[in-house]
Structure 1
Amino acid sequence: MRKGLNLLVGLALLAGLAACDANQVYEKNLELDKAVWTVQEKPTFEFDIQDTTQRYDIYFNIRNESMYGYYNLYVKHTLLDPSGKRMSQLLHQMLLMDPQTGEPRGQGSGDIFDHQFLALRQQKFAQPGTYRVVLEQYMRQDQLPGIMAVGVRVAKAAQ
Structure 2
Amino acid sequence: MVQRLPLKLSLGFIFLLELLFFACGNTNVAIDETSSFPESGWIQKQPVQFEVTVEDSLVNYALYVVVRQNNAYPFYNLYFSPSIMDGQGKIVQRGLAEAILYDPTTGKPKGAGFGDIYEKNFLVYPSLKFPKNGKYKIQLDQSMRVDTLAGMVSIGLRLEKK
What TM-score results when the alignment is normalised by the length of structure 2?
A: 0.82
5 Å-filtered alignment, 1:1-159, equals 20-157=25-162
Alpha-carbon deviation of 1:67?
Answer: 2.3
Structure label with greater radius of gyration: 2
Alpha-carbon deviation of 1:81?
Answer: 1.6
- My pick for the range that moved more, 77-86 or 89-98, is 77-86
Contact 2:80/2:142, CA 8 A, preserved across alignment: yes
Q: Would the alpha carbon gap of residues 102 and 24 (structure 1) be closer, same or farther in structure 2, given more than 3 Å must change?
A: same
Structure 2 unmatched runs, 5+: 1-21
Contact 2:81/2:95, CA 8 A, preserved across alignment: yes
**Partner Cα distance (2:97, 2:23) in 1:** 23
Q: Would the alpha carbon gap of residues 152 and 67 (structure 1) be closer, same or farther in structure 2, given more than 3 Å must change?
A: same
RMSD: 1.6
1:42-88, CA deviations, whole angstroms, 9 ceiling, x for partnerless residues? 11100000111111011111110022111000001111122221111
Letter in 2 for 1:84: G
**Partner Cα distance (2:35, 2:102) in 1:** 22
**Partner Cα distance (2:107, 2:144) in 1:** 18
Three-state SS of the structure 2 residue aligned to 1:25 is strand
Contact 1:18/1:24, CA 8 A, preserved across alignment: no
Number of aligned residue pairs: give it. Answer: 141
Q: Would the alpha carbon gap of residues 97 and 19 (structure 1) be closer, same or farther in structure 2, given more than 3 Å must change?
A: farther
**Partner Cα distance (1:100, 1:19) in 2:** 41
**Partner Cα distance (1:20, 1:111) in 2:** 29
Alpha-carbon deviation of 1:37?
Answer: 0.4
What TM-score results when the alignment is normalised by the length of structure 1?
A: 0.83
Q: Aligned residues: percent identity?
A: 32
Contact 1:81/1:130, CA 8 A, preserved across alignment: yes
**Partner Cα distance (2:150, 2:69) in 1:** 9
For residue 3 of structure 1, what is the aligned residue in structure 2?
Answer: none
